[in-house]
Amino acid sequence: MASRSGPPFRRIADEIARRIADGELAPGERVPSTRQISREWGVALATATKALTALRLEGLVEARPRVGTVVAAGAAAGTAAAAAAGERAAARPSRRTASGAGSDRELTRERIVRAAVDLADSEGLAALSMRSVAARLGVAAMSPYRYVNSKEDLLLLMADAAFGEERYPAEPPGGWRARLELGARTLWRIYRRHPWLAQIDSLGRPLLVPNLLVHAEWALAALDGHGLDPVTMFDLHVLLYSHTHGLAVHLEREAQAEAATGLTGDQWLDRRAPAFQEITRATGYPVFARVVASLGPAGYDLDLDALFEFGLTPLLDGIAVIVENPPPGRTTG
């Protein structure tokens, strides 16, 4: 292992590598996140990201979307070689690290955006910064600024890339309802793939990125030609979008809560079951108490995917009433 006088990121990487070699961390098991590393070792998030990047480059860990960074298969067998490589890296910087020129010459805006998306997918939006993206790419901290002006600009580029991952068929399915269903499920898949995405916009301040407009165009085209005035068309589009976006917001929030507490949602509820039951008994809400009691020992299983599908059907049923019986024309004036 590297000496205690080595760079902070190298010392952290070597300690995690030791845990893998000793079997404390098994293949497929999550390693500490950037935020956990930051708290445990008292370092900046960028240093934590650099440590995980070093482990990933050495083949000891891998990032899995919506899971985090986990021990790679067969990683324990390679820790001795990785440790030796770490010793050599700590003793003398490589040509690429010394000057940064080799990495920087290969840097592009697309690589920066892809690295940022991968980082947010695996570590969460809180771990994202221009410095942490640079560390993930193995380039100087200021290098990304030559291609992206700020973190805010980077978030827009990330969102545009994410929304652009799905395309619609050139020949749309027949009927407005089938088109809206396809649009809603397409957006849900994108949010499911990138849980952070729903955190960075709101209905009142939508993201002004071209690829999000692709999805809006698809929904509005489905509603076009049915005698609806523009305000009603846009209201229906926003309501359908808010159903998808509103549920997707909780994807990242739950991941953040699990990372902060170390407990899954079910484990968190189990620990608070006595207090919840006490509140239920003490309050004067008999219907709520009866419904909760009727759920049985397993309680209510909050499944966001199932809830999305369950809510989509009655929402489209309500839209059907309006499409089939268009209201009088409305204006914004």
Whether the per-residue pLDDT at 213 is higher than 50: the answer is: yes
Domains of the chain, earliest start first: 8-92+107-148 (1.10.10.10), 176-324 (1.10.357.10)
Query: What percentage of the chain exceeds 70 in pLDDT?
Result: 83
Q: Which of the pair, 284 or 61, is modelled with greater confidence? A: 61
pLDDT score at 321: 96
130-172 pLDDT tens trace: 999 999 898 998 999 999 999 999 999 999 999 999 999 999 9
The residues, ordered by sequence, that sit 6+ positions from 268 with a Cβ below 8 Å of its Cβ are: 257, 261
pLDDT, mean over the chain: 83
Whether the per-residue pLDDT at 333 is higher than 80: the answer is: no
pLDDT score at 276: 73
pLDDT score at 1: 41
Q: Which of the pair, 276 or 61, is modelled with greater confidence? A: 61
Residue-wise DSSP of 42-59:
T--HHHHHHHHHHHHHTT
- Cα–Cα distance list, 65 to 7, 122, 194, 317 (Å): 29, 5, 8, 34
pLDDT score at 259: 65
How far is Cα 98 from Cα 121, in angstroms, rounded to an integer? 30
Reported as a pLDDT band with limits 50, 70 and 90, residue 101 is very low
54-69 pLDDT tens trace: 888 788 888 776 567 8
Model pTM above 0.75:
no
89-96: average pLDDT: 42
pLDDT score at 99: 34
pLDDT score at 330: 67
How far is Cα 330 from Cα 319, in angstroms, rounded to an integer? 16
Three-state DSSP state, 70: strand
Burial of 272 per CB tally in 10 Å (0-12, 13-18, 19+): exposed
Dihedral (Cα; 268, 271, 273, 279), 10-degree rounding:
-90
Whether the per-residue pLDDT at 286 is higher than 60: the answer is: yes
